Copies of this chain bind each other. A is one copy, B any other.
Amino acid sequence: MSIELTILGCHSATPRENAHPTSQIVTIKNHTFLVDCGEGTQVQLRKYSVKFNKIKHIFISHLHGDHFYGLIGLISTFRLLNRETELHVYAPKGLKEIITLQLKLSKSWTQYPLYFHELSSTKSEIIFEDEKVIVSTIPLSHRIYTNGFLFKEKLGERKLNMEAIAYYPDIKICDYQNLKNGNDFKLDDGTILKNSKLTLAPNKPLSYAYCSDTEYYPEITTIINNIDGLYHEATFLNDKEVLAKTTKHSTAQHAAEIAKMAQVKKLIIGHFSSRYKNKDGFLSEAKNVFKNTLLAEEGKVFKIM
């Protein structure tokens, strides 16, 4: 199993025909999470065949337009498609007012349940949890209140060791769940079989963090320490370090330094400024510091495993 990351847009600021603002799909366990939703995201979702109905949770990092201007259109389209499934939006305080004002004025309330989970804490907090996945915020440092998001699989069930189980006809299929849950097994003759004899350790839970937009902010490394995949913004190259500082964005080198410091397994960089026509500079600048760096690219699917 793996976490899958599909890039719908990985450019900063204004949308262009072949450079869409930020949006991505994070597929983890049975979830299809949408992270950020710049203008045109719904068209990108169609282009890359993401089923609208699978999206039940949308995470918005901050209220700069290139990260959320596509949300009202997506919410409206869900309505036009007669969606019934509930939708949860996790976003900085204020987004609920923006969306509901527009729905009110257009007299177009959603017929499906729409829930806003407004964020305002500057400390990391758990914002979604079920039996398999946990999502928490990563407070970032940008010009306005911004959160990254950490997506973590929970430790799964133990896996059946079918070779070992085959020795014991007493163990029936209906016992498997008990074994997966870690329980020992009692044979008919009273012998206790240790669970570790019959099962294997569960897969290591995977984790992925999305960090955009932010200036170079080493404080996050304690939260994202040792994760399997990190998407970190790299708006500029090092030659624009001063501009990065003023606008509270990162350079490719900054992103790589964060990845190195946090000892993540894989770094994906994006949120490129349109001033750079060629993206090779981002890759080489980052790789100088952190070798396992990849470039985000629209439509590309990254496997975090």
Contact = CB atoms under 8 A, between A and B. Distances in A.
A13 B42 CA distance: 12
Contact of A65 (B14, B43, B106): B106
Given A43-B40, A65-B76, A107 B17 contact: no
Give the size category of A's interface with B. 35 or more
Interface string A49-64: 0000000000000011
Given A39-B73, A97-B101, A107 B144 contact: yes
B70 A39 contact: yes
A55 to B, nearest CB: 15
A63 B98 contact: no
B94 A98 contact: no
Contacts of A42: 14-15, 39
Contacts of A173: none
Copies of this protein, total = 2
In the complex, which of the residues A64, A69, A95, A105 has the most CB atoms of chain B within 10 Å of its own CB atom? A105
Given A17-B43, A101-B98, A102-B98, A72 B80 contact: no
Interface string A70-84: 101100110011000
A47 interface: yes
A7 B95 CA distance: 32
A46 to B, nearest CB: 6
Nearest to A81: B14
A172 interface: no
B69 A65 contact: no
Contact of A80 (B14, B17, B76): B14
